Amino acid sequence: MGLGLTFDVAHLLAGGLVLVSFLMITQHRLYALLNAFALQAVLLSLSVAWQAYVQHAPHLYVTAFIALVFKAIIVPVGLHRIIQRLGIHREIETVIGSGTTMLVGMGLVALSMTVMLKVTPGADPLAREDLAFALSVVLLGLLMMVSRRNAVSQVVGFMSLENGLVLAAAGARGMPLVVEISVAFSVLIAFFVIGVFLFRIRERFDTVDVQALDRFRGERR
Amino acid sequence: MTSVAFLLLCAAALLGVAVLAVACARAYAATPIVYGATLVITLAAAITSCATLVGLAAPAGLVLPIGLPWIGAHFRIDALAAFFLATVNVGGAAASLYALGYGQHEDEPHRVLPFFAAFLAGMNLVVLANDAFSYLLSWEFMSLASWALVIAHHHDPENRRAGFVYLIMAGIGTLALLLALGLLTGPDGNYTFEAIRAGTRTPLTAAIVLVLVLIGAGSKAGLVPLHAWLPLAHPAAPSHVSALMSGVMTKVAVYGFIRIVFDLAGSLPWWSGALVLAIGGLSAVLGVLQALMQDDTKRLLAYSTIENIGIVFIGLGLALAFRANGMEAAAALAMTAALLHVLNHSLFKSLLFFGAGAVLVATGERNMDRMGGLIHRMPVTSFLFLVGCTAISALPPLNGFVSEWLTFQAILLSPDLPQWALKVMVPAVGGLLALAAALAGATFVKTFGIAFLGRPRSNEAATAREVDRFSLAAMALVAMLCLITGIVPGYFVDAVTPITRQFTGGALPLQANLPWLTIMPAVVSGSSYNGLLVFLFIATSAMLAVWTIHRFASHAIRRGPAWDCGFPDASPLTQYSGSSFAQPVRRVFMARTSATHEEVTMPAPGDMQPARFSLVVSDPVWTWLYQPLAGAVEFASLHLNHLQFLTIRRYLSLVFFSLVALLLVLAIWS
């Protein structure tokens, strides 16, 4: 198997991650958003598994497995249930129009490409592309957290940002398994905590729209 | 036992005394016990460090398994450390002896005793430290201990303000030193001074280090414009502590400067010397101008410390400039002058603060406009204070003259410097130094004349009594040291040659062998000074004059009425006052600055009220530097305050946009 195929498959999977990020930032319905997130997690685990195969690093298979179980199954299913119990599956929320969001997202991808290709001239080309895509996914996740009002979609934005981090770490050769596992667990714990908080917010304010929180803080001021 | 181990033991013993003092500070005998213990310990440490300096004990290093894990605390004593340890411990011993008497008048000894011992230990540890971590730790310990001493009399709001200002300045200084040592250490993280010395750094890094050290050590030493805390904090502390802070702690700061700039930072370009020279010259003149304006004796002495530190830094700047041009002998001369002035200033400034403290005990006054005539009631104190005034005014045969004369000798070598900027600048700084020396003379004529001569201006001054024997003994001891240093400076010049050889590569020729104890520092110029002969001449001619007058004119001491300008029975308040003495200089040098504000209120014709004259003297550094700075900080905090009350999404956006902005910067400029 030549370098060409290695490179192309890695490129395809990482590019797929960015593409799904774009899907997510324009997706207004919560269920569809969750499905896109699950798809991204599957792509991530494939990408990490491919890196494990290419780099002959068996511990990355564990990382891939963790990504698949936690992010593609447990977190989406959990969020599904939360949305059902909150009864907000019909809600549509935007702050910025999807066209604008797309344009901003494209700008961010261009920025991350420019930066990464510029600052890592000496690195392995595979790692360079991987890092550039990972930074795009991180920035798009942040963009999603900024452009949404619903707490659930902010959580999804956060998780997708974390996907970008894992992608970068897998491509960078040498992230220890311990770090990966602890990151995975911290994400899981963050998910639990956020879930509990979502219910508490809902109990108190009858909505998970974070603007209600702002109003409350405004009153106290 | 090596000398460094013994000195560390002394520091540990001082810390033990501090702990003991906490335990028994309220006991009746606590004051003599604590000061007696510090006296014995500092005397032992002084003897050890002197022995190390003259080569009787070998320089040595020691690593203790305390401090940072796996690194430990490194201590070492070399010639430079030995010299400064001797200065610190002689000053400490004199202050302890003085405090045996002075400390009896302390109302709250438990606020002074523990910190006094801890302060001495801190200063010893700073000089002994041989790695960046122990150095900074000891430095901060020294700062905090002295801060506690500044606010010992915390009931006075002035003292609390002084403590606050001091704490801020000490914090800024330590931060600057932390950054400087961090830059010197580099990314390897090896904190020992040996590793720092071996490292190489770019000229830009060296320049930043120099500026940071000037801020860090300069704020502690009292360089203009970072001197603002000295005139507040030094008077606030009890007098023996003022003597230590002004006479000794500023020297520890000078040690820090020499250690980092001359030793650790490697070779520096010539303009570093110019920078240090300029700051030194400015400090000398501005410090003494402010000193002349003061009516508070201790504040006056604190400002005079700024002047003397300026003189020391002029010497150090010259040494840097000469060293950068490979003129080793000239650099050695300049550095010798600076080091001797360090020693001399620590001696006569301690003496003067002791004297001011004695007057404070006897009259309860620090304002010299309420003293006067003390020479009749406190003759011994007056004589010793006069010795200190003569020394600090750089009059032969006392020690102040020697070091300032050596500094001038170094300045006279400046035409050999290749850079035109330095050729022009060094004589200008010499002019500043001459001006500072003349103004210092005026300052101490004023201090002695207003406080000790004339008629008493208050009841307290009229009923003052001579202070106790311990205080007098301490003052007499330090005055004797001033005289010895002035008469036989050759031995002291010889004692510092290992230091100049280590840091400038050159050394002055051996002085002790010259006939009649002459010193002849520069072989090229051939000028020489003989303190002993000057002393003998002054003593003989004075005795001869006294004998002639008494023999041929009159034996009797006559006491007549004070000259009253033709107005009989004038009030003592009509005498020349401190501010009237300073008025000509004030009008000439400070008339159109914001530093002084005179106001005359004349009553309307026919009005029986007296005319009023009011004078406000302020330090211009407050209006020009600190108030704008404080205003900027206040403005920024006021306008950044609403960042505390943003919504969650705004915070997220803030993170997002700053990240994107940083990436953009990277994309465009990298």
Long-range contacts of B403-406 (CB under 8 A, 24+ apart): B403/B311, B403/B315, B403/B337, B403/B338, B403/B340, B403/B341, B403/B343, B403/B344, B404/B311, B404/B337, B404/B341, B404/B433, B404/B437, B405/B529, B406/B315, B406/B333, B406/B336, B406/B337, B406/B340, B406/B521
**pLDDT (tens digit, 9 = 90+) per residue, A102-155?**
999 999 999 998 888 887 777 677 777 788 888 899 899 888 888 887 778 888
**% of chain B exceeding 70 in pLDDT:** 97
Q: What pLDDT score was predicted for residue B437?
A: 94
Contact B354, B474 (CB under 8 A): yes
- The residue of chain A nearest to residue B653, with distances taken between CA atoms, is A146
| A142 with B666: Cβ contact below 8 A | no
Task: Give the pLDDT mean for B194-216.
Answer: 89
How far does the CA of residue A221 sit from the closest CA of chain B (Å)?
8
Contact A20, A14 (CB under 8 A): no
pLDDT for residue B647 is more than 90: no
State the angle between helix axes of A30-55 and A151-171 in degrees (0 to 180), rounded to the nearest 10: 10
Q: Which of A48-52, A86-90, B268-272 shows the lowest mean pLDDT across its residues?
A: A86-90
Cβ B335 vs Cβ B322: under 8 Å: no
Summary mean pLDDT of chain A: 80
Do A210 and B649 count as a contact with CB atoms less than 8 A apart?
yes
Looking up tokens 């550039």, which residue turns up? A132
Q: Looking at beta carbons, which residues of chain B come within 8 Å of A149?
A: 649
> Which residue in A112, A143, A213 is closest to B656 by CB distance?
A143
Contact A214 B647 (CB under 8 A): yes
Nearest CA in chain A to B668: A115
The answer to whether the Cβ–Cβ distance between B647 and A210 falls below 8 Å is: yes
To test the contact with chain B by mutation, choose from A146, A148, A214 the residue with the greatest count of B C-beta atoms within 10 A, namely A146
Residue range A194-221: mean pLDDT, rounded: 66
Inter-chain CB pairs, A–B, below 8 Å: 43
Q: Cβ separation of A119 and B653 shorter than 8 Å?
A: no
Identify which of B299, B280, B281, B279 has the alpha carbon closest to the alpha carbon of residue B290. B299
> Above 50 in pLDDT, residue B236?
yes
Per the structure block, which two tokens stand in for B530?
């003989």
Q: What is the DSSP letter of B264?
A: I
Over range A23-27, report the average pLDDT.
Answer: 86
Does residue A83 carry a pLDDT above 90? no
Instruction: Take residue B304 and report the two structure tokens written for it.
Output: 């005079």
Mean pLDDT of B396-412: 91
- Is the predicted pLDDT of residue A5 greater than 70, yes or no? yes
Mean pLDDT of B59-63: 82
Report d(CA B244, CA B579) in Å as an integer: 28
Instruction: Give the pLDDT confidence score for residue B176 in this predicted structure.
Output: 95
**CA-CA distance, B112 to A148, in Å (whole number)?**
62
Query: What is the token pair recorded at A86?
Result: 């909150």
Q: Compute the nearest-CA separation of B648 from chain A (Å).
A: 8
**Most B CBs within 10 Å: which of A25, A115, A136, as the mutation test of the B interface?**
A115
More confident residue, B569 or B147: B147
Residue B348 near residue B358 (C-beta atoms within 8 A):
no
Q: Is the pLDDT of residue A71 over 60?
A: yes
| Nearest CA among B241, B376, B234 for reference residue B291 | B234
pLDDT in tens, B584-608: 888 888 776 667 888 888 888 888 8
Residue A198 has pLDDT above 80, yes or no: no
**Residues of chain B contacting A217 with CB distance shorter than 8 Å:** 645, 647
Q: Name the least confident of A38-47, B65-74, B148-157.
A: B65-74
Which residues touch B9 (CB under 8 Å, ≥6 apart)?
A: B1
Least confident among A170-184, B121-135, B142-156, B478-492: A170-184
Of A111, A149, A213, the CB nearest to B663: A111
Once rounded to an integer, what is the mean pLDDT over residues B95-110?
A: 90
Select the residue of A111, A143, A145 nearest B667 (Cβ to Cβ).
Answer: A111
Which of the four pLDDT bands, split at 50, 70 and 90, describes residue A220?
very low
Q: Which of A111, A146, A213 sits opposite B656 (nearest CB)?
A: A146
Enter the pTM of the model. Answer: 0.81
pLDDT value of residue A221: 41
Q: Which residues of B touch A221 (CB under 8 A)?
A: 645
What is the chain A residue with the closest CA to B644? A221
Distance of alpha carbon B239 from the chain centroid: 14
Cβ separation of B653 and A114 shorter than 8 Å? no
Which segments of B244-378 does DSSP mark as H helices, in order? 250-257, 270-293, 297-324, 328-363, 374-377
How far B616 CA sits from the closest chain A CA (Å)? 45
User: Which pair of structure tokens corresponds to residue B613?
Assistant: 């004259």
Of A108, A115, A210, Cβ closest to residue B648: A210
pLDDT at B14: 94
In this prediction, residue B150 has a pLDDT band, given cuts at 50, 70 and 90, of: very high
> Are the C-beta atoms of B347 and B478 separated by less than 8 Å?
yes
Using a CB-CB cut-off of 8 Å, the residues of chain A touching B659 are: 139, 142
Q: Do A115 and B659 touch (CB under 8 A)?
A: no
Omega before residue B561 within 30° of 0, cis: no
The complex's ipTM? 0.83
Contact list in A for residue B653 (CB cut-off 8 A) is 146
| Residue B618 confidence (pLDDT) | 83
User: Is B659 in Cβ contact with A149 (below 8 Å)?
Assistant: no
Confidence bin at A94 (pLDDT 50/70/90): low
DSSP characters for B392-431?
HTT-TTSHHHHHHHHHHHHHHTGGG-S-HHHHHHHHHHHH
With CB atoms and an 8 Å threshold, state whether B664 touches A111.
yes
Q: What is the mean pLDDT of residues B168-187?
A: 91
pLDDT at position A16: 92
pLDDT at A1 over 60: no
List of residues 6+ apart from B370 with CB closer than 8 A: B363, B457, B458, B460, B461
Residue-level pLDDT at A51: 85
Give the residue among B510, B507, B466 at the shortest CA–CA distance from B490: B510
Spatial distance between the Cα atoms of B55 and B518, rounded to a whole number of angstroms: 23
- Chain B CB contacts of A211 under 8 Å are 647
Average pLDDT for chain B: 89
**Residue A219, pLDDT above cutoff 70:** no
For chain B, the residues whose C-beta falls within 8 A of a C-beta of chain A are: 645, 647-649, 652-653, 655-656, 659-660, 663-664, 666-667, 670
**What pLDDT is recorded for position B613?**
85
Quote the pLDDT of residue B670. Answer: 67
Identity of the residue in A108, A146, A217 whose CB atom sits nearest the CB atom of B653: A146
